Amino acid sequence: MATLRPYDKMPMVNAAAILLVGSEESHLELMAGAMLKEPKTFEVKIHTAPALPLPYERDPVRPRFDMVVFIINRHSQRSLARALSSITHLDAHYFHGRVCFVATKGGQGQMQHCVVDTSTVRDLADSHLSVLVHSELDHAEDVVYTARRLLNMLKVCAGLVPGFSSLYMGTIAKRF
């Protein structure tokens, strides 16, 4: 159960691998399904996990992850706790633009029912120099929009966009 490192394996040609980490399996499935349905010019390998570290036995067949996305449900303190404990199992090189946080729930009329405050998730993303995306995974349009955003960021992180590096991710991706 070692630290996940971005440069231990060779990159795939015209392909990118993403790891979705979250305690809500339904959110992981929704996001993975939406990402697979989107038209794209490169191959996408999507892996999901409830938390890190990943099992060591599968390491030889596991691809190099170009991007790690933590999906935090703002209605669940357990979701935030799992993200916080999982972050410690990532190599520091992932925090050079290869980590993204997706905060779900808390849209119009639901803010008073949130257990996790928006500022907590924003501070978490800021302290790790990562992009924060707010999304309502209860609406199909928001799921598709979030999937498109993640695919665009993944394309940059995988090195498939000439002239851009994942180091620029914080400056080219606006927070929503």
Q: Which residue has the higher pLDDT, 18 or 107?
A: 18
How many CB atoms neighbour CB 1 within 10 A?
9
Look at residue 120 and tell me if it is in a domain: yes
What's the CATH code of the domain at 28?
Answer: 3.40.50.300
Look at residue 8 and tell me if it is in a domain: no
| Residue 73 DSSP SS3 | strand
Backbone angles phi, psi at 77, to 5 degrees: -65, -30
Strands 131-135 vs 99-104: parallel, antiparallel or unpaired: parallel
The tens digit of pLDDT for each residue in 49-63 reads 999 999 888 888 889
* Global pTM value: 0.90
The tens digit of pLDDT for each residue in 83-142 reads 999 999 999 889 888 999 999 975 545 556 788 998 999 999 999 989 999 998 888 999
Nearest to 97 by CA among 15, 30, 164, 42: 164
Spatial separation of the C-alpha atoms in residues 138 and 121, rounded to whole Å: 19
Look at residue 87 and tell me if it is in a domain: yes
Q: For residue 92, give its domain range.
A: 15-172
Share of the chain above pLDDT 70, in %: 90
| Residue 21 DSSP SS3 | strand
Residue indicated by tokens 């490192």? 5
Q: For the chain, how many structural domains are there in total?
A: 1
Look at residue 89 and tell me if it is in a domain: yes
Look at residue 5 and tell me if it is in a domain: no
Longest dimension (CA), the chain: 46
Q: Which helix (H) or strand (E) holds 37?
A: helix 25-37
